[in-house]
Amino acid sequence: MDESDRMHQELIAEIADLKNRIRALEQEAAGKLVEEERQGHVPCAEKTETIGLLAGGVAHDINNLLGILSGNAEMLILNMSNADPLRDLVKGIVASGEQIAAEVRDLLAITRGGAVLIEPASLNRIVADLLKTSEFSKLLSSHPQVTIETEYKRHLPDINASTIHVERALTNLINNAMHAIPEKGNISIKTDNRYLDRPLIGYEEVPEGEYAVLSVSDTGSGLLPEHLKHIFEPFYLRRVLKHGGTGLGLFVIWSVLKDHGGYIDLASDPGKGTTVTLYFPVKRDVSVRMKKQSASEYMGNRETILVVDDEEEQCRMVARMLMELNYRVETAWSGEEALVYLGNNDADLIVLDMNVETGMDGYDTYRRILEIKKKQKAIILSGFTKTERVQMAQDLGAGEFIMKPYPMVRLGRAVRNELERK
């Protein structure tokens, strides 16, 4: 077995291990909630806190491992020819890494509001792109009795959104609809533009205003009235209605809508089907959507970058990415080591990990650095969502915050933007 084959097998094994850890986390959360509910009703806010404590405990480690896994896979692709038979397999590893990262972000999003990248997005494009994915094809093949119909509203205004979160919310909606159809049936996905001149009173009150609307209707078994008020609670479908999956699907949908300032309407008729309608507020000042970019657009000019991270492999991974982008790279494995280096040398930019096991964290490190380098530029990395300490560092002058894992283009763009910032 050559080196490429060995790395490929190791990456596949790491993906499997990460998936198992996530599943174990979800099972632990479900078990804890069941035990708590035996002692009485647990309010939704407390369920959220329970999941948050469990998710936060492992998210940093998982995201660090994912960063190494995805980064190594991306570096492999860069060094493979287009004709290499392993190229598509490694691309699959990158895609799996992105899927796992999305699951971790979903767990964090439903508990902390997430640290998601909000950009102008089209609901029409999100739906169309999702229906082309291998994940959707696999879902459809497992439910051959279900047909999908789509209806797109032309000239639908953009929304400010995290595309990956809205896409996963839609995936969960479709998945739930498919499970609700025991035999042959139909799912209809529609987008629309609605202006409400007065509040809409439905499952919840939707205030007046303009909305881009996404609805998913199924011809399934429907829901009884007593289930409707609980349907978005975590694990409710799985435990009460005996549905499959992790039990977080509808809870993720609810949380994604709330993170986007949106609203949900729900109508269900037992024996006839269910319609879930998502209302996303329209921002008429939404800027032109960013085009898809590659890391090559953010090449450096041999500027010196100091990478500060106490995770050795993560530190080396970031360094390899930056060297590939034509930067000179120095590394420090603690805030104290970074201070020693900067006491004798200059760096055009610091890439600073916010969370360290011992010594100073990212905020304290940056605060101390500014005492000796008053205008030192920096960007912040973390395996957690954006915290108060991250914001405090940014208030001192640090630039972008990047949540692990991230592709090379995300790192390259943040570095280039910060270096060019006046």
What secondary structure does DSSP assign to 24-86, as a single string?
Answer: HHHHHHHHHHHHHHTTS---HHHHHHHHHHHHHHHHHHHHHHHHHHHHHHHHHHHTS-TT-TT
pLDDT higher for 343 or 249? 343
Is the pLDDT at 134 greater than 50? The verdict is yes
CATH of the domain at 138: 3.30.565.10
Residue type, 267: A
**pTM of the model as a whole:** 0.52
Burial of 13 (0-12, 13-18, 19+ CB in 10 A): exposed
Q: Can you tell me the distance from the alpha carbon of 91 to that of 95, in angstroms, rounded to the nearest whole number? A: 6
Rounded to whole angstroms, how far apart are CA atoms 356 and 309?
7
Band the pLDDT of 291: cuts 50, 70, 90: very low
Q: Report the pLDDT averaged over residues 201-225.
A: 90
Q: What is the pLDDT of residue 241?
A: 52
pLDDT of residue 327: 96
Residues contacting 82, CB < 8 A, separation 6+: none
For residue 309, is it within any domain? yes
Return the pLDDT at 7: 58
Residue 97 has a pLDDT of 73
CA distance 10 to 12: 5
Residue 50 clears pLDDT 60, i.e. is over it: no
Average pLDDT estimate for 337-349: 95
- The pLDDT assigned to 150 comes to 96
Of 214 and 244, the structure prediction assigns the larger pLDDT to: 214
pLDDT for residue 30: 52
For residue 170, is it within any domain? Answer: yes
Q: Does 130 lie in the same domain as 36?
A: no
**Does the pLDDT at position 407 exceed 90?**
no
Tell me the three state secondary structure of residue 133: coil
Among 85-89, 366-370, 383-387, name the one with the lowest average pLDDT: 383-387
Identify whether residues 321 and 336 lie together within a single domain: yes
Calpha distance 124→128 (Å, rounded): 6
pLDDT at position 236: 57
| pLDDT for position 17 | 65
Residue 230's pLDDT is 72
In a domain, 233, yes or no: yes
390 and 249 in a common domain: no
Give the residue-averaged pLDDT of 312-321: 86
- Are 189 and 266 in the same domain? yes
- To which residue do tokens 């104290």 refer? 336
Domain count, the chain: 3
Residue 320 sits in the same domain as residue 301: yes
Domain ranges, residue 333: 295-420
d(CA 280, CA 262): 5
What whole-number distance in Å separates Cα of residue 179 and Cα of residue 188?
Answer: 14
* 332 shares a domain with 304: yes
Query: Strand, helix or coil at 178?
Result: helix
For residue 47, the domain's CATH number is 1.10.287.130
If pLDDT is split at 50, 70 and 90, which confidence band does 112 have?
very low
Predicted local confidence at residue 106, as pLDDT: 57
Burial of residue 287 (CB within 10 Å: 0-12, 13-18, 19+) is exposed
Q: What's the CATH code of the domain at 329?
A: 3.40.50.2300
Distance CA 43, CA 58 (A): 24
What average pLDDT does this structure show over 20-44? 53
| Residue 246 or residue 69, greater confidence | 69
Mean of pLDDT values over 341-364: 90
pLDDT of residue 9: 66
> Which distant-in-sequence residues (6+ apart) come within 8 Å of 296 by Cβ?
none
Structure token digits, residue 21:
């850890």
Of 49, 77, 112, the residue at which a domain comes to its end is 112
Identify the pLDDT of residue 245: 46
What pLDDT does residue 246 have?
46
Are 379 and 400 contacting, i.e. CB atoms less than 8 angstroms apart? Answer: yes
Q: What is the mean pLDDT of the chain?
A: 79
Mean pLDDT of 85-94: 79
Q: Does 354 lie in the same domain as 213?
A: no
| pLDDT, average across residues 344-368 | 91
Asked if 107 and 123 sit in the same domain, the reply is no
Q: How confident is the model at residue 293 (pLDDT cuts 50, 70, 90)?
A: low
233, 47 contact by CB (below 8 A): yes
